[in-house]
A = this chain, B = another copy of it.
């Protein structure tokens, strides 16, 4: 699907979000999923995207011996979309795209998700966001601590791209892995330390 999917005009914002949640129309998600598959296949890390949270209202089990969900609604996620483990380190992040060229609107990330990243950091996990400025074709890693710091200190609704430049890290496009965010974590945050052992 990706970019090629056409939306009807006048489409409401919630539907767009819903589509994003279900992983359509967002190339960044595909890139991350591909990267995670690479990590998994090569025993580098085990990181998955969580399923889209929904509330099921009506289920039809009679037809065709296959259970069909006939009515359900998208639910606001209380956590981030991705989590897993790398060399004993708990990994947790949210990924967002913006068409904006100069800043990232914070309301792209729900309050619950920001609280969740804060919880994760308190527990000793690696929490962060990946933000792609699609028009500029730039993808940034921003550590959770830096995101929380910005929100705490600044009274602004958007994070300027300069903040990403100064406090984050560019994730370069690659062939395989497509978006090597583990490299950033390894280089800048855990410095190669392995916590494997139970």
- Residue ranges of A at the interface with B (Cβ–Cβ < 8 Å): 11-12, 14-15, 18-19, 22, 40, 43, 45-46, 48, 50-54, 56, 59, 61, 65-75, 78-79, 83-90, 92, 116, 119-126, 189-190, 194-198
Cβ contact within 8 Å between A124 and B14: no
Please tell me which one of the listed residues B52, B88, B190 contacts residue A125 in the complex, with CB atoms under 8 A apart: B88
A143 to B19, CA, bound (A): 38
Contacts of A195 in B (CB 8 A): 88, 124, 195
- In the bound complex, do residue A66 and residue B126 qualify as a contact, i.e. CB atoms below 8 Å apart? no
Residues of chain B within 8 A (CB-CB) of A197 are 124
- Cβ-defined contact, A59 with B90, below 8 A: no
The residues of B that contact A56 with a CB separation of less than 8 Å are 22, 52
A87 touches B124 (CB 8 A): yes
Q: Give A110 to B116 CA distance when docked, in angstroms.
A: 29
Contacts of A79 in B (CB 8 A): 48
Contact of A123 among B22, B50, B72, B88 (CB under 8 A): B88
Residues of B within 8 A of A69 (CB): 54, 69, 71-74
| Pairs across A and B, CB under 8 Å, 11 listed | A14-B66, A14-B67, A51-B75, A66-B73, A69-B71, A69-B72, A88-B195, A123-B196, A124-B195, A125-B198, A189-B198
Q: Are A68 and B61 in contact (CB under 8 A)?
A: no
Cβ-defined contact, B48 with A51, below 8 A: no
A48-B79, A198-B189 known; A123-B66 Cβ under 8 A: no
Which residue of B43, B59, B66, B74 contacts A122 across the interface (Cβ within 8 Å)? B43
Residues from chain B with Cβ under 8 Å of A73 in the complex: 66-69
Once A48-B79, A124-B197, A195-B195 are accepted as A-B contacts, the answer to whether A18 and B67 lie under 8 Å apart by CB is yes
